[in-house]
Amino acid sequence: MEKTFNAAETEPRIYKMWEDSGAFAAGANAKPGADTFCIQLPPPNVTGFLHVGHAFNHTLMDMLTRWKRMQGYDVLWQPGLDHAGIATQLMVEKQMAADGENRKRSEMPRDEFISKVWEWKADKGGVIEQQARRLGDSMDWERSAFTMSGAASAPATEKPGNFHDAVLKVFVQMYNDGLIYRGKRLVNWDPHFETAISDLEVENNEVDGHMWHFKYPLADGQTYEYVEKDEDGNVTLREMRDYISIATTRPETMLGDGAVAVHPDDTRYAPIVGKLCEIPVGPKEHRRLIPIITDRYPDPDFGSGAVKITGAHDFNDYEVAKRGNIPMYNLMDTKAHMRDDGEPYATAAATAQRIARGEEGFDEGKVAAMNLVPDEYRGLDRLEARARIVADITAEGNAVIVANPALEAADSDQPELPKTIPFVEAKKIMQPFGDRSKVVIEPMLTDQWFVDSSKIVQPALDAVREGRVKIMPESGEKVFYHWLENIEPWCISRQLWWGHQIPVWFGPSVTPQGGLSAQNQLQFCAPNYEAAVEIAKAKYKELLGYEVEIDEFQMIEGDYAKGIKEAGHHVATADALWHPADDGRIIEVYISRDEDVLDTWFSSGLWPFGTLGWPADDPAMKYFPGDVLITGQDILFFWVARMMMISQAVLQDDPFHTVYLHQLVRDAKGEKMSKTRGNVIDPLDMIDAYGADALRFSNAQMAALGGVLKISEDRIKGYRNFGTKLWNAFSFADHYQIPYPGNAARPEATQTLNKWIIGETGKVREAVDAGMDSYRFNDAADALYAFTWGKVCDWYLEFSKPILQGDDAAAKAETEQTLRWVLDQCLIMLHPIMPFITEELWGLAGSRTKMLIHADWPEYGTELVDVDADREMNWVIGLIESIRSARAQVHVPAGAKVPLLVMGLETKGQSAWDNNAALIQRLARIESLEHVDSFPKGCVTIPTDGGTFGIPLEGLIDVGSEIARLEKTMQKLGKELGGLRARLNNPKFVASAPDEVVAEAKENLRLREGEEAEMKAAIARLQELG
């Protein structure tokens, strides 16, 4: 054997052996008729690289997978990749720029860009699958899935698959079930990527902002008495006003105000509720008037108590506007610049004015088309527009003016400072940022697709409430409930190209006159164009009363009318379009597919069955529902909850029975890893330095439920050392030339030593399984570490030496067999954590029928414990430790062999000594044992249960230091005795505590009292000497 385990050489070789032999394949090593066990890998982004978080949860998944596979379950660990819409699109755009492609994405045809993405994927994507192999992951790579597999755009070189079909089928089914709808709603808009994003993709950060206070003059110069009172109702301010004061952090959105709202109980504004006020921006002659309304949303104690309502640009305002039927005017384009389209401001403002006065009705479409940005602000960035608007309002005298605080602070009048200034508060404000783009997110009123989450949330909630799905740690359940009980509609459309294009085609509506209109378009949802055509044909026949041809065209920027004009089809007006035959009948109707793609999380929501061939009738569907999902708690809502909702909505089943959530993996100090901090630990570097097994053991060991995960290189190094320890145990066997047949059965042991270690093995098997069963991976790892190092290597191997070198052939053979068996058990039980080194050591045996990865997991337990052997060996270990300790404390040279005296040795102690004399002598470096009636003066005393030992060291020891040693031990003992006596003297304790606890306390007291007596005697002897 090599001196140490060479991970760098061994790991790739072993991995190849497993993979080439199909050891990871679904069902490998399954016993006939076995139950399935399935873990779905949370699919990493196709753009992803392995980081410590993956390394951590892959370790846990691999441990479970290997463990269940060894137990003979029909196991599948399903790998795969997520197409990752935004991330991938970004990566390919970067690649294009790097390659010197002079067109941007928006300048190339969609198809061409998509094929570039596929090329990128084939060339550079999925690196993480190779990296995961270095960890030792036993996934069924043959089955690796991809969320875009089977898409029409996929090149022939791509691995076949049907995930794309599954996604569209789920969409169509949910659409038909009324769970998905399209609507104009306020969504989070990312101006950088020019797409909607979901609430979860928004990070709110506190930033420095300002709050401006402006006057909205009342219409037609009206005035009212404004009265402020304090808490006791005393009037603190009374003045005539011709305006209402508004505070805002977003002045540029004033242009889209639809109303000013005050609280219904706010008496200050009661006189003017229902009146109109003027938005103090824009050309004087076209100032818009808006109504003052009441709503419960404004907080009378905050700011002036009056709030401007801009339904299209603020989530709170949106709710108010919906309640009050206030028009929501959209002011910005997809880049969050002030709109520069539509009719001139004067026309739009005049229409808005009639709406505000109630002289004209409005609907969503009409309001959406109106651009209320005054001509001079059109096309400006929103921040630039803000600055201009603030300046303009202030210049006109409509800013609220206050005394200059700088002036108050100064002692003397400083003539250069103005006496009053506009009221602008510096204020911390929460601002939303895109989690990928890092730009400020705009609430925007746009047409999007939504999942009506509230309709499908109940089964997911019930699953957890009824215990069908268990979330670990338990605290996750509360968070889960809280979120699901307050769930908002889920925006699933994204204005991207890379992804599953929404399978809905739009067609014109049919007017009462039998014409066609681009307004209120009809939707045809189907998994493909042909099916959509069939639905459309039927629908138009129903509406028109005769058959029409259906043809397809492309919308332009989501605009049906624009697209159809561009396509050169016959268009009568913007509202009515048709392609009539001579008799006035319509021959052909054009439909067009929605340009948007689905949120990546929508497709990953069906990962638990989309990977198994669904909707095809695939035998792999036997692995659904899966068993446990292991993932970071940050995607509980993004992914876990949605998988649960979608699985229930589509298959009426939960996708798994257990969710194991873990925290973010941090550095040794507990800080987030980041490139800017420079504290990123690359798992591959750790594998290079210490081997995959060491990294895995470290991961298993830190996996305390709900714990903070801090990865430390020192720990990993420590577990590399543990591997070396295990390796050396095998060198030990090698050195003693112990046969290694490879099928060592557990012997019927006669030797106490062997009985003992067999019992210990039984105990650890139970501990390991209990840990694995309850997802306490750290318990399993710690139990194995303590057993292998602390029991097997520290004691069993040491104890076996005298027998292995001795003359008793039968005892030697039994010990050899036991030793091989015990070491094999270590390999088997350590395999799920440390697969490489254990498989390598397993291969050292002469003959094996199976690789370790497929070895049978043991089923024995504590029935193997021999109580007498257990007690005897623990006595021996205790005695050796006591002798060693005493020797060290009185500075007996480590190498010196000393005589040992004993008095009052009981039968039990005598037989324990007789059985183990050789090993006690060897390990405690004792040269002889002599029975005496009393110890000589100057003797180190070692009390044990069943006899008192002494080391005669007259003249060698320092009496003072030995007395000090004994007294110190006595002190500790005294404390313990005090506690025990107090408990046992308390009648309530004896009466209430369980019998075994009382018995244990009594036994402890007996032992400690015995020791105390011995100590006292020993101290007395020493004092005599002194």
Partner RNA sequence: GGGUGAUUAGCUCAGUGGUAGAGCGCUUCGUUCACAUCGAAGAUGUCAGCAGUUCGAAUCUGUUAUCACCCA
Distance CA 703, CA 780 (A): 10
Shortest distance (Å) from residue 688 CB to RNA: 13
Distance CA 216, CA 48 (A): 52
Shortest distance (Å) from residue 890 CB to RNA: 10
Phi, psi of 74 (to 5 degrees): -85, 95
**Cβ closer to RNA: 369 or 888?**
888
The three-class DSSP label of residue 641 is helix
One-letter amino acid identity for 804?
Answer: L
Sequence-ordered alpha helix ranges (H) in 752-796: 752-773, 777-785
Contact assessment for residue 126 and residue 81, using Cβ atoms and an 8 Å cutoff: yes
Shortest distance (Å) from residue 478 CB to RNA: 5
**Cβ closer to RNA: 769 or 779?**
779
Distance CA 322, CA 615 (A): 40
Shortest distance (Å) from residue 205 CB to RNA: 9
Distance CA 385, CA 373 (A): 10
Contact assessment for residue 820 and residue 717, using Cβ atoms and an 8 Å cutoff: no
**Cβ closer to RNA: 272 or 471?**
471
* DSSP symbol at 28: T
**Cβ closer to RNA: 389 or 845?**
845
Shortest distance (Å) from residue 441 CB to RNA: 11
Distance CA 593, CA 412 (A): 72
Tell which residue, 128, 154, 151, has the closest CA to residue 139: 128
**Cβ closer to RNA: 669 or 675?**
669
Distance CA 984, CA 1004 (A): 11
Distance CA 595, CA 496 (A): 8
Shortest distance (Å) from residue 483 CB to RNA: 8
Shortest distance (Å) from residue 641 CB to RNA: 13
* DSSP calls for 900-916: EEEES--HHHHHHHHHH
Shortest distance (Å) from residue 870 CB to RNA: 18
**Cβ closer to RNA: 504 or 942?**
942
Cβ neighbours of residue 492 under 8 Å, at least 6 residues apart? 180, 198, 448, 449, 450, 451, 598, 599, 602
**Cβ closer to RNA: 239 or 714?**
714
- Return the HEC string of 692-747: HHHHHHHHHHCCCCCCCEECCHHHHHHHHHHHHHHHHHHHHHHHCCCCCCCCCCCC
**Cβ closer to RNA: 561 or 780?**
780
Distance CA 308, CA 317 (A): 8
The three-class DSSP label of residue 409 is helix
* DSSP symbol at 143: G
Shortest distance (Å) from residue 510 CB to RNA: 41
Distance CA 987, CA 946 (A): 30
* DSSP symbol at 219: G
The three-class DSSP label of residue 493 is strand
Q: Which two tokens stand for residue 313?
A: 């640009």
Contact assessment for residue 665 and residue 707, using Cβ atoms and an 8 Å cutoff: no
**Strand partners of residue 420:** 403
**Cβ closer to RNA: 284 or 482?**
482
**Cβ closer to RNA: 100 or 987?**
987
Shortest distance (Å) from residue 299 CB to RNA: 12
Shortest distance (Å) from residue 492 CB to RNA: 17
Shortest distance (Å) from residue 470 CB to RNA: 12
Distance CA 417, CA 408 (A): 11
Contact assessment for residue 595 and residue 558, using Cβ atoms and an 8 Å cutoff: yes
Shortest distance (Å) from residue 949 CB to RNA: 15
**Cβ closer to RNA: 420 or 805?**
805
**Cβ closer to RNA: 246 or 702?**
702
**Cβ closer to RNA: 577 or 792?**
792
